[in-house]
């Protein structure tokens, strides 16, 4: 008798808690999803419908006309540019970061601690400080309007080296020594032993790099001058009509094209992605 009463009490308590929890969760999640919904429906409307009062949420005239317009304005070449920059930057960064991470994780050498402190300290230099002089350098190198400034300067990320070091430290030394006894050169050990073992870490880090590069805006904005060299974020920001007014519906169409690939990649690799984010934060 008493037992059933108690268990019923616990049950109602948990039910109360549940309702309370969903009352917090559901509104926040709706707020999180709302911009995506609004982006999508705005990309299907005309400008007049966007400005209309009272508000039009769905209209019978909705169609893909904005997408046709941005295709005429060359959205595909921008998509390709964005992909090319993100892909090259990611591959190069992963190579240098895993190499550097291996160097710091598995070798003891004179000056290691000082060099590692420099690496960590370099992370606090904000991009705002190097933006202007770096741009002037790029002009002198004749790198303006090429993808090089968006790939080369950041190719050895301090965060990435730190990240890979933590990962590579977990490889047992015996594994590397065995390869050494077999006569592998240090570079061969890196390529044949270290890289295969840390592939999950490389995927996590690669996803973070790819996303950062894909969404990058300020440096591409100042570097990529000619329209056909632009990336998608730069295209979104520079789609302006006469007198500098924003062409919202076209911007939304490009926005949808810009965010969709990343969301698909994220949904496929969600576990690796969050593993990367938390590995960097909780260990750091």
Partner 1 sequence: MTTSTRVLTRMKRRWGEIKKKRWAYMFISPFYILFAIFSVYPIIFSIYLSFTKWKGMGPKVFVGLANYRRLFGDPIFWQSIRNGVIIFFLYVPIMTLLALVLAVILNAKFVRFFRVFRTMLFIPYVTTMIAVGYVFRIMMNTNYGLFNMVLISIGISPVPWLDNVWWARVSISLLIIWAWLGYNMVIMLAGLQTIPQDLVEAATIDGANPVQAFFRITVPLMRPIILFSVILSTIGSFGLFNEVYALTTVGDVPGGPMYATITPLVYIYQQAFRNYNFSYASAVSCVYFVIIFVLTLLQLRYFGRED
Q: Which of 6, 8, 11, 33 binds partner 1 (CB under 8 A)?
A: 33
- Identify residues 54-83 at the interface with partner 1 (CB under 8 A): 54-55
- 51 or 76: CB nearest partner 1: 51
Q: Which of 61, 117, 199, 278 binds partner 1 (CB under 8 A)?
A: 278
Cα radius of gyration rounded to whole Å, the chain: 25
CB 72, min distance to partner 1, A: 20
- 167 or 190: CB nearest partner 1: 190
CB 203, min distance to partner 1, A: 15
Read off the tokens for 70: 């941005």
Q: Which of 6, 27, 52, 192 binds partner 1 (CB under 8 A)?
A: 52
Q: Are 180 and 106 in contact (CB under 8 A)?
A: no
Tell me the CB-side half-sphere exposure of residue 22, using CA atoms within 13 A: 5
Q: Of 1-9, 70-78, 176-184, 254-262, which part binds partner 1 (CB under 8 A)?
A: 254-262
Place of tokens 């304005």: 73
List % helix, strand, coil for the chain (3-state, nearest 5): 75, 0, 25
Q: Are 144 and 207 in contact (CB under 8 A)?
A: no
- Identify residues 95-114 at the interface with partner 1 (CB under 8 A): 96, 99-100, 102-104, 107-110, 112
Distance CA 7, CA 4 (A): 5
- 4 or 245: CB nearest partner 1: 245
- Identify residues 151-170 at the interface with partner 1 (CB under 8 A): 152-156, 158, 161
Q: Say whether residue 206 binds partner 1 (CB under 8 A).
A: no
Q: Say whether residue 232 binds partner 1 (CB under 8 A).
A: yes
Q: What distances in angstroms separate CA 57 from CA 61, 72, 138, 158, 254, one per listed residue?
A: 11, 26, 46, 46, 20
Q: Of 65-73, 171-179, 183-191, 196-204, which part binds partner 1 (CB under 8 A)?
A: 183-191
Q: Of 4-12, 59-67, 127-135, 195-203, which part binds partner 1 (CB under 8 A)?
A: 127-135
- The SS3 call for residue 246 is strand
Q: Say whether residue 175 binds partner 1 (CB under 8 A).
A: no
Place of tokens 């005309």: 46
Tell me the CB-side half-sphere exposure of residue 81, using CA atoms within 13 A: 24
């Amino acid at each position: 008798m008493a037992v059933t009463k108690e268990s019923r009490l616990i049950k109602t308590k948990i039910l109360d808690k549940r309702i309370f929890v969903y009352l917090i969760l559901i509104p926040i999640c709706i707020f999180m999803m709302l911009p995506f919904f609004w982006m999508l429906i705005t990309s299907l409307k005309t400008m007049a419908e966007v400005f209309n009062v009272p508000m039009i949420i769905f209209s019978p005239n909705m169609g893909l006309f904005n997408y046709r317009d941005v295709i005429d304005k060359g959205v595909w070449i921008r998509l390709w540019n964005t992909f090319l920059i993100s892909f090259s930057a990611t591959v190069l960064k992963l190579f240098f970061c895993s190499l550097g991470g291996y160097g710091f994780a598995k070798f003891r050498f004179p000056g290691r601690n000082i060099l590692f402190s420099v690496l960590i300290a370099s992370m606090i230099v904000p991009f705002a400080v190097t933006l202007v002089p770096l741009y002037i350098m790029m002009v002198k190198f004749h790198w303006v309007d090429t993808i090089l400034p968006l790939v080369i300067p950041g190719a050895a990320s301090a965060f990435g080296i730190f990240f890979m070091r933590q990962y590579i430290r977990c490889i047992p030394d015996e594994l590397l020594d065995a390869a050494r006894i077999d006569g592998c050169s240090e570079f061969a050990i890196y390529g044949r032993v270290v890289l295969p073992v840390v592939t999950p870490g490389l995927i996590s880090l690669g996803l973070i790099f790819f996303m950062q590069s894909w969404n990058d805006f300020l440096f591409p904005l100042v570097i990529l001058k000619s329209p056909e060299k632009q990336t998608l974020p730069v295209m979104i920001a520079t789609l302006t009509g006469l007198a500098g007014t924003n062409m919202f519906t076209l911007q939304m169409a490009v926005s949808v094209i810009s965010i969709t690939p990343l969301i698909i990649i994220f949904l496929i690799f969600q576990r690796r992605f969050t593993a990367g984010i938390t590995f960097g934060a909780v260990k750091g």
